[in-house]
Amino acid sequence: MELTANMIWSGAIMTAVLIIFTLGKSPVFRVDRAGAAVIGSVLMIGAGVLTFDEASAAVDHRTIVILFSLMVVVANLKLAGFFEKLGDVVERNVHNQHQFLAATIAVSGIVSAVAINDIVCLLFTPVVMLLCRKFQCNPLPHLLGVALASNMGSAATLIGNPQNILVGGLSGLSFLDYLGTAAPIAGVGLFGIYAILTCLYRADLASPLNAGTEGALLVHGYLIRKSLLTLAAVILAYINGMDLALAAAAGGAFLLVTRRVKPNKIYTSIDFNLLVIFIGLFVVVAGVEKSGLKNYILRQFSFSGFESMDAFAGITVVVSNLVSNVPAVLLLKFFIPQHDPAIWWKGLALFSTLAGNLTITGSIANLIVAEIALGQKVRITAWQYFRAGFPLTVGMTLLGIVWLRFWMN
């Protein structure tokens, strides 16, 4: 089998898109990840690799519906003041920095398990920054706690982050089946985050908290209750066998029926960039597969899948950090072994999420925390993140391998 023009085109387009995804933006033009996904998908069609109909068919519409619908739910929680309320609860119940760090990790991790972690970071990071100013303490360990814990907590469920939602849609895994496998690892990981950060920032965390000043808190209790009950209903429906896309869409639609909230306020809180990225990546990866490049590469390496969980975990962590989590899942789905595929899908979801804690560019959630902090003149360097993320990722990946081997037996 020889290289064809379509293979070369699709490979070049995919490479360019992944470079921009790795860097976060084009080194030449003002093109971000969403723009790269759009341009890449258009080039796939323009180069004749895919027809327009084939590109449309390549988009997993269920995943897009799930993402959008869950964003509607979280947007309602944001408008209701839910995240500010969480911050207020933390402020009232912590008495030293160790408790503050533990509470930050717990809140970030637990909420990220049932809401998309990127959005949790977007909404909860400003709250943590506000609390750090009130307490007059170094925000760095607490911001790292938000980023690391949001990734770790999201690993526990199939609705915690975009790549897990994608895995859930592609694999057909049961929500409870995956939860039973991944939640213990995520729980141990949250304790690991606390241990690592308390070790690295021992001196900072030893300083006392200054009493915070009371401020007005605008909370819409009815909307919080309605949104949380809707989210609970979506999860329960999913657990009881309803299609997640249908359950999430029903929940999102229900919350849009209201006389209290203007629709535009909901829509402005939705991350449409993330939806565009997903749609574009579906088309780009479909072009690589349609051109025959995927099969060509597999034949060159005489390789069609993984037989070792060690190798699978290592490759997933590396690829996830090179090209980001979602593209990694779209690429590595082709290598899932045919025997007992469920355990390998679980591994793909778990390890691609754990990989997000390795570097500051390992997940969008990390970048969100870093950008919000920088906007308030707090800089999180790549080294500061890496010295906490490296031991955590290595340790949790090894534990994950052992744990999944146990489930394979």
The torsion angle over the Cα atoms of residues 81, 357, 398 and 403, rounded to 10 degrees, is 20
How would you class 400 by CB atoms within 10 Å of its CB: exposed for 0-12, middle for 13-18, buried for 19 or more?
A: buried
pLDDT tens-place string over residues 375-399: 788 888 889 999 999 999 999 999 9
Q: Which residues face 25 on adjacent strands?
A: 32
Half-sphere exposure of residue 209: CA atoms within 13 angstroms, side-chain side? 21
Distance CA 36, CA 20 (A): 7
Distance CA 166, CA 382 (A): 28
Q: Which residues face 66 on adjacent strands?
A: none
pLDDT tens-place string over residues 132-187: 988 889 999 999 999 999 999 999 999 899 899 989 988 889 999 999 999 999 99
Which of helix, strand or coil describes residue 254?
Answer: helix
pLDDT tens-place string over residues 250-291: 999 999 998 888 888 888 888 788 788 889 988 998 898 888
Name the pLDDT band for 302 (thresholds 50, 70, 90): very low
How would you class 70 by CB atoms within 10 Å of its CB: exposed for 0-12, middle for 13-18, buried for 19 or more?
A: buried
**Predicted pLDDT of residue 217:** 67
Q: Say which DSSP state 336 is in.
A: -
Distance CA 177, CA 101 (A): 31
**Of 89, 155, 141, 147, the residue nearest 118 (C-alpha):** 147
Any residues with CB less than 8 A from the CB of 127 and at least 6 apart, and which? 83, 84, 86, 87
Lowest mean pLDDT among 43-57, 86-100, 186-200, 203-217: 203-217
- Token digits for 365? 């959630």
Name the pLDDT band for 213 (thresholds 50, 70, 90): low
Lowest mean pLDDT among 66-75, 100-109, 133-142, 222-231: 66-75
Check if the beta carbon of residue 44 is closer than 8 Å to that of residue 55: yes
- Interhelix angle 175-200/382-408, rounded to 10 degrees, is 140
pTM, rounded to two decimals = 0.77
Check if the beta carbon of residue 161 is closer than 8 Å to that of residue 154: yes
- Token digits for 287? 């072009």
